[in-house]
Each structure stands twice: as C-alpha cells, then as structure tokens.
Amino acid sequence: MGPMGPQVNPLAIASMVLGILSIPACCCAFVGTPLSVAAVVLGIVSMQKIKSQPQAWTGTGMAIAGIATGSVGVLLWIAALFTTLDDGLRARLFGGY
C-alpha cells in the first residue's frame, strides 16, 4: 500500500488502453488480434490481483473496461474475417456478384 492508499493496478491500465486501441485496429489482424487478446488476458490477471490484495490495488473498473473493449475488438476482427472470406467466395463462385 502506497502513502496515499491503494494504487491503481498497472495491468488494469494496460488492459484498458490495449482494449481501446484494439477496436480501431480490428481490421488489421497482425495488430488488432494481439491487442485484443492481450487486453482480455491482462484484464483477467489484474482482476485476480485486485481481488487477492484489495488493500494494495484498485482498478476493477479499468480491468472490466479492458476485458469488454478487448472482447469487442475480437468480435470485430471475427466479423472482418468473415466479411473478407465472404467477399472472396462470392468473387470465386459468382464472378463478383
């Protein structure tokens, strides 16, 4: 515990930042996917640390925000993937229609 009380868990902050960045990066699989996965994992790990040491750490809201935005990033990446696959199949099977 710091001099001012519990500190915000740095993993919760990182989770939230990566989750927010994963949403606009969802169309680029090499950037968006790792950001999304990292946001979810860091959010879960930070929630566990905060629950195990509530006197030392805060930041549950940031961790939840990181998990939520990371999950949205994963869903948007999946949607972009299926849209790309669907466009490719239409072009091959129906000549682009």
d(C-alpha 77, C-alpha 96), whole Å: 23
> So where are the chain's domains?
8-94
The pTM of the full predicted model, rounded to 2 decimals, is 0.84
Specify whether the CB–CB gap between 40 and 74 falls below 8 A. yes
pLDDT recorded at residue 2? 52
d(C-alpha 66, C-alpha 25), whole Å: 15
- Reported as a single tens digit per residue, the pLDDT across 54-84 is 999 999 999 999 999 999 999 988 888 888 7
d(C-alpha 4, C-alpha 71), whole Å: 33
pLDDT interval class at 95 (50, 70, 90): confident
- Reported as a single tens digit per residue, the pLDDT across 37-59 is 999 999 999 999 999 999 999 99
Q: Fill in the amino acid letter for 34.
A: P
Query: Does the pLDDT value for residue 1 go beyond 60?
Result: no
What are the structure tokens assigned to 13, written together?
Answer: 């902050």
